[in-house]
Amino acid sequence: MSVGELLAATVPMVRTLNLEYLETTPERAVMELPDQGEFRNHVGGPHAGAMFTLAESASGAIVLAAFGDQLTRAVPLAVNAEIAYKKLALGRVRATATLGRPIADVVAELDEGKRPEFPVTVSLQREDGAVTGEMTVLWTLRPNNPS
């Protein structure tokens, strides 16, 4: 089962918004929010909350793809998120997430007993390619408590 299939099966909000996983690798995650009338705002575009959820979901997908092999010893947690809405989004919206630090550097900090933090940047684009928003999510890998 792919990361996208796993998240679609286990995260209720992904199913609620009908988010689609197009690509999920340790290098990037790409998702789309379909154009759905029930999630439009007062100007006919997707609601800001739906766009936030799309971007945050893409960031989570890349984190699982990059660090899924570390889940036996650490849990990924979003520390904070910041979003900027740049242009009106109409129609389908695509989110593309990328890691802001090399995977090996993050794992090395975890190996040292630290709680590494790393940013994930997400670009939101409408179908014509215009960037409608940008998000940065700061993630951490919180080491599991020893039993």
Tell me: the pLDDT tens digits for 68-125?
A: 999 999 999 999 999 999 998 989 999 999 999 999 999 999 999 999 999 999 999 9
The domain made up of 3-143 is a member of CATH 3.10.129.10: yes
Classify the C-alpha dihedral 144-19-101-87 as positive or negative. negative
CB-CB contact of 135 with 56 (8 Å): yes
pLDDT attached to residue 10? 85
Q: Is 6 exposed, middle or buried (0-12, 13-18, 19+ CB in 10 A)?
A: middle
Residue ranges covered by each domain of the chain: 3-143
| Percent over 90 (pLDDT), the chain | 80
Res. 136 pLDDT band, cuts 50 70 90? very high
* Whole-angstrom distance, CA of residue 147 vs CA of residue 64: 24
Please write the tens of the pLDDT for every residue from 58-79.
999 999 999 999 999 999 999 9
Nearest to 48 by CA among 9, 17, 4, 8: 17
